């Protein structure tokens, strides 16, 4: 495993993917959407000038297969490791013990991420020895957490995680936290309105798989399709 900065992307099992879109997308559509966004994200991360590697973590063998095909590392989430925070903590320890110096935890649903902006966060964590906390566009969630691998923060993903990640650590040996607002990391895809933003995005190289998938779903058929699957 290469030393340097690593992106760490936790990936849910397909059946649990994008659960807040369950009212308008079928389970298969949600699984396909997660995979499309993840592949788009991996494409952009490969353009980073500062990343030494990319690791996916999770419990799903399908994620392991995708990582192998993409040439990336897979960290299996052990049985009994319950919840996102525990999974990220385990994967961070794995990367640190293998030589990683900086870890950038990113959600899998950042279709518009610009690798140059991620490099800004990596440089801040490396040069200033800080934990950079990148909020979502609402200023409540955390869409990026970049920190020295040897001194990881307490992971507090969940409701109001942006504020909670900025709380002063109880352990004074941990690096200070710094809010870092990066436009391309602000937009994640969780709610129906987010899907419409993705559908209406200007065409370009970023998010091309996810945009194509969403645009292939007729607006008036999406809710109907979900109802039919529930009946079955």
Determine the pLDDT at residue 1: 60
Domain tally, the chain:
1
Domain that holds residue 90: 4-231
What kind and span of H or E run contains 133?
strand 131-135
Q: DSSP label at 113? A: -
Positive or negative: CA dihedral 165, 168, 170, 171: positive
Determine the pLDDT at residue 2: 64
Burial class of residue 169 in the structure, from the number of CB atoms within 10 Å of its CB (0-12 exposed, 13-18 middle, 19+ buried): middle
- CATH code for the domain of 28: 3.90.550.10
The predicted-structure confidence for 24-78, as pLDDT tens digits, reads as follows 899 999 999 999 999 999 999 999 999 999 999 999 999 999 999 999 999 999 8
At 220, is the pLDDT very low, low, confident or very high (cuts 50, 70, 90)? very low
Determine the pLDDT at residue 223: 40
What kind and span of H or E run contains 57?
strand 51-58
How far, in Å, CA of 22 to CA of 6, rounded?
Answer: 32
């Amino acid at each position: 495993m290469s030393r340097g900065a690593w992106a760490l992307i936790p990936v849910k099992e397909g059946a649990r993917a994008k659960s807040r879109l369950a009212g308008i997308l079928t389970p298969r559509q949600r699984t396909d959407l997660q995979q499309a966004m993840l592949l788009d994200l991996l494409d952009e991360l490969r353009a980073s000038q500062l990343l030494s590697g990319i690791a996916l973590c999770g419990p799903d063998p399908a994620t392991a297969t995708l990582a192998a095909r993409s040439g990336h590392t897979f960290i299996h989430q052990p049985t009994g490791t319950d919840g996102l925070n525990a999974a990220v903590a385990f994967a961070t320890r794995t990367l640190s013990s293998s030589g990683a110096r900086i870890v950038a935890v990113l959600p899998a649903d950042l279709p518009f991420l610009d690798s140059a902006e991620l490099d800004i966060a990596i440089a801040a964590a490396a040069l200033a020895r800080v934990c950079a906390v990148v909020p979502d566009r609402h200023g409540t969630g955390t869409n990026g957490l970049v920190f020295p691998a040897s001194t990881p923060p307490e992971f507090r993903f969940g409701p109001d995680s942006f504020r909670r990640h900025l709380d002063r650590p109880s352990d004074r040996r941990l690096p200070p936290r710094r809010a870092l607002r990066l436009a391309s990391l602000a937009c994640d895809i969780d709610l129906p309105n987010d899907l419409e933003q993705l559908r209406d995005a200007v065409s370009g190289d970023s998010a091309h798989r996810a945009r194509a998938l969403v645009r292939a779903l007729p607006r008036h058929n999406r809710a109907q399709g979900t109802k039919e699957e529930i009946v079955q």
